[in-house]
Each structure stands twice: as structure tokens, then as C-alpha cells.
Amino acid sequence: MADYECKDFADIGKCFQKLHIYINTEVEKLKEKQEQIDERVKVLENQAEFANGELHDIHNSKIPNLESLIAEEANERLKLEVWGRKWNLVIRGIEGKVGESPKVTENIVRIWLHNDKKGLGFTAPQVKSMLFTAVHRLPNGPEKKRNIILRLSNLIDRDDILSAATKLPRGADTVWYRTSHPHLQFVAVNSWQREARCPMRKKENSDLCT
């Protein structure tokens, strides 16, 4: 607003008139800016409402599907774990050394499989042909006599070892194997325990007797 000097009382009216025009102009500018702000707020509110609707749709349609897929994947993993345990054997009672490497443990197992007095008495070619996926000591048991987990590449070798284990005398090194469900306990398979668990072979189809 330009300065305006009132020289006498006659000019006072002109001053107020000019001031009134200036104030009205500024008020109109403020109204225009307020309208622009209101429009932007409406746009933002509409966008927020749309986004909220999209999120609601995603929550109702996508999340249940994701939960179902996660549960399905967990079940598949459990099936694979259960299926994979069919190749696992656990051997107890074989002495070793503290900090024994898997390679040394594998050599000990192969010697035990071949030993006809304290082991299972397989021939050297039979033992050599057995393919192991993994062999290592488990963290439980006495430090120098911890259990050994043996994972074989095929079920034929596993069944041959289990069959030979049934002929071990009571108190001998015992082969154990995991049942089909990972949460079930180990099941011993030397002959006297096998007879106690599976009288007359009535449970041949049970995973406790296979």
C-alpha cells in the first residue's frame, strides 16, 4: 500500500476509502489462497481414502492367501524333513575323540560296519559301496562316546544296516533310526527291543518296525 498523507480533514475520507480498498483486496487474496488450500486438502483426503480402500482390499484378499501359502510351505518343509529322515541312522556306543572331524567319524563308522566282532560284519566291498550324505557326532552323550548320525544316499543301504543291527547281541553297539515324524523319539532296533515292540511282526506297516 503506497503512503498517503492526509493534509486536512477533507483528505481523511479519501484515506479511509483507499484503506478499505486495500483491505478488501488482501482479504480476497486470502480467500483465494484458502480455497486453493481447501482444494488440495480435498484431493489429499480423496487420495488417502482411496489408499485406505486399497489397503483394506489387500488385507482382505491378499493377506489370507499369503497366510495360506506360508502354512502350505511350512507343511511342505515338514514333509520334506520327515521324508528326509528316512535316510537317517543314529549309532550309539562307538568311541571317538574330542573335537573329532566328520571325516574321522565317517572312517570310524566304516570300520565299525566292517568289523565282524564289534560291528556289523559287512564285507569291505559292501562298506565301500555305501554312499553317505553326512556323518557327524551329535552333541549329546558322553564326550568321547557321543551318538553318531549317519545319513545314507539310498534306503537299500539303510535297510541292510538295520537288518544287520537286529542280529547284534544285547548290550552291543546299537543302531538307532528316526521314526517318520521328527518329534517322535528315537526307536532302538536291536533284536530284543524289536521283538518287544513288534511281536509276531503284526506291525510291519508301522514306521516303528520299518
Q: What is the CATH number of the domain that holds 109?
A: 3.30.70.1820
DSSP, residue by residue, 106-139: HHHHHHHHH-TTTS----HHHHHHPPEEEEEE-S
Choose the weakest-confidence range: 50-64, 83-97, 169-183, 186-200.
186-200
In a domain, 187, yes or no: yes
C-alpha R_g of the chain: 42
In a domain, 58, yes or no: no
In a domain, 134, yes or no: yes
Q: At residue 33, does pLDDT exceed 60?
A: yes
CA distance 143 to 65: 48
Which one, of 98, 4, 138, 33, lies nearest residue 25 by Cα? 33
In a domain, 29, yes or no: no
Does the predicted TM-score (pTM) go above 0.75? no
CA distance 113 to 118: 9
Q: What is the mean pLDDT of the chain?
A: 74
pLDDT at 93: 80
In a domain, 183, yes or no: yes
Range of the domain at 140: 87-201
What would the pLDDT profile of 59-81 be if each residue is shown by its tens digit? 777 777 777 888 888 888 877 76
In a domain, 20, yes or no: no
Q: Hey, what's the cell of 178?
A: 528316526
Which one, of 99, 95, 87, lies nearest residue 162 by Cα? 87
Choose the weakest-confidence range: 18-22, 137-141, 153-157, 172-176.
172-176
Neighbour-count burial of 115, counting CB atoms closer than 10 A to its CB (0-12 exposed, 13-18 middle, 19+ buried): middle
In a domain, 8, yes or no: no
In a domain, 46, yes or no: no
List CB contacts of 70: < 8 A, sequence separation 6 or more: none
Q: What's the whole-number mean pLDDT along residues 19-43? A: 89
Neighbour-count burial of 86, counting CB atoms closer than 10 A to its CB (0-12 exposed, 13-18 middle, 19+ buried): middle
| pLDDT above 70 as % of the chain | 72
What is the number of domains present in the chain? 1
What would the pLDDT profile of 182-195 be if each residue is shown by its tens digit? 333 333 343 333 33
Residue 171, SS3 per DSSP? coil
